Amino acid sequence: MARTKKKKSLATKNAIAGYLFILPFIIGFLAFMVVPLYQSLRMGFSEVTINPAAGGFTMEFVKLENFNNAINVDPEFKILLIENLRGMLLDLPATLIFSFFVALLLNQTFKGRGFVRAIFFMPVILSSGVIVGLEFNNEMLASMKDAIADTTNASSITTVLKDMLVTEGSQSAQFFNYVFDLIDHVYDVAIRSGIQIIIFLSGLQTISTSMFEAARIEGCTAWECFWKITLPMVSSLILVNIIYTIIDFFCRSDNKVMEYIQNIMISKLQYDLSAAMSWIYFLCCMVIIGIISLIISKKVYYYE
């Protein structure tokens, strides 16, 4: 009697499909990233001496000396790290709120919706590759910016409002400073929200319209539908976007911490100190992701 094969469940099939999608990354990581990561970690715990006769450099184990030098001896690294972490904590909620709000608008039915969606995703394309080099190394754009700054004496509207509303020493001063700082950086927030908008939009499109129809029949308002249906149904994507936004912030091309680490490694040839700084920076990123994920995951609603 021939044995019948057990049918795989839908969850098992989805898991297999997911592993197949990430299989190229796993293979590439094992082939090209494991050895450099091990070498970097080893350098962080060693004193690296450049020695062409020994194959490039030699390493002598010095325990936590490089990590102590990075945190307690180096005059700039800790300051830059704290400023970068503070900037991430301010940028994260602004990016999530903006991308979710735009995704809600783009999920509506209106003429030219595809064109408007392309406009919001365009910054993702323009902020990659050669365009980044043109933006940061274009002397003409830099000279135009300096000329505008030299020839105008007018204050920005945010500066005027800030002078009117903010009273130094008051309890509301810190809140207003945060709001005005976001307004001044609204371009940066918008240009870095393309991927988050697409992720939120894909989640909104998976919500069945019958759920909203049933809610309206029961007398729910649009505001109640948002809090009871829309937000819970995309809560898992909020966690995804939080993790993506944190990693994207830590890996930006204009990141001051990464620029400083590269300068230590390339200009000063201190491979041991730069490796220790890199691992400290990486651990800070992982700790923040772990803490936020632990908090947010308790509020995530998963559905079949």
Which of these, 101, 296, 97, 103, lies nearest to 206 by C-alpha position? 103
| 8 Å CB contact between 79 and 277 | no
Q: Looking at residues 232-241, what average pLDDT do you find?
A: 86
Q: What is the pLDDT of residue 221?
A: 85
Looking at residue 153, its pLDDT comes to 46
Interatomic CA distance for residues 88 and 1, integer angstroms: 64
**Does the pLDDT of residue 228 top 80, yes or no?**
yes
pLDDT confidence of residue 114: 73
Is the confidence at residue 215, as pLDDT, over 50?
Answer: yes
pLDDT of 233 reads: 85
Predicted confidence at residue 148, as pLDDT, reads: 45
HSE of 157 in the Cβ direction (CA atoms, 13 Å)?
1
Tell me: pLDDT of 23 over 90.
yes
For residue 170, the one-letter residue type is S
SS3 percent helix, strand, coil of the chain, rounded to 5, is 75, 5, 20
In which element (H, E) is residue 265 found?
Answer: helix 256-266
Which among 80, 82, 75, 71 is positioned nearest to 280, based on CA atoms?
A: 71
Instruction: Give percent of the chain with pLDDT exceeding 90.
Output: 4
48 neighbors 271 (Cβ within 8 angstroms):
yes
